[in-house]
Chains A and B, each alone.
Chain A
Amino acid sequence: MSRIVVDARGSFCPGPLMELVKTIKDAEVGTEIEVLSSDESSAKDIPEWVKKAGHELVGVEKKGDYWSIVVKKLK
């Protein structure tokens, strides 16, 4: 199981989401992508996007002053 970390801390909405979209596009199916975001609205918005785009939300976790959002590419 490969995992890619996308560090989008310091970037404002929709930056973290856009970083994820770019990464997920080029990743292989089954890859887990961890987005690090210091932007709270992105932490809420990314799960919404993942649901709509048909991928799997593995988990969202607040780690101090940032969020870790783990997504699995399903298609």
Chain B
Amino acid sequence: MGKLAIVLASGELEKLQAASIIGSVAATLGTEVLVFATMDGLMAFKKDVVEKKAWKAGELGKGMLQANAPLFIDTFKQAKETGNLKLYACGMVMDMLGLSMDEFVDVFDDKLGVTAFLGMTEGAQVLFI
């Protein structure tokens, strides 16, 4: 069923939600899914941000929070349980800001550099979100 790589660079809730839905449904179909969270897309997984639900959100994103729609973090977690989906945190951002893995919610499989990610995603379709 091929390979899908999602580069998650945006911290906007709507985009995070879309990425998690596309990635998780692809994983249920047997597609190998790799998610690389970087820039604001990585910061969206910080424990304090998640706790306060302090994502950048427009009208739709706010509506999603109010409607108690399943959040991207839970969607990703579920996808990891049911299919072959892996999430990686961008090492560069973490090193630059001196962040450690335990400052993020527990969804990441590893911390990666961009070269390693590119190696992994060879032959994959790439979505940049």
Contact = CB atoms under 8 A, between A and B. Distances in A.
Interface of A: 11-15, 17-18, 21-22, 25, 49, 52-53
A21 B28 contact: yes
Contacts, number: 31
Interface in B10-24: 21, 24
Given A14-B75, A15-B70, A18-B78, A49 B21 contact: no
A14 B82 contact: no
Interface residues of B, number: 13
16 contacts: A14-B21, A14-B24, A15-B70, A17-B25, A17-B28, A18-B24, A18-B82, A21-B28, A21-B82, A21-B83, A25-B82, A49-B25, A49-B29, A52-B29, A53-B28, A53-B29
A14 B28 CA distance: 11
Nearest to B27: A21
B60 interface: no
A12 B70 contact: yes
Interface in B69-126: 69-70, 75, 78, 82-83
Interface of B: 21, 24-25, 28-30, 67, 69-70, 75, 78, 82-83
Given A18-B78, A22-B82, A53-B29, A12 B24 contact: no
Contacts of B82: 18, 21-22, 25
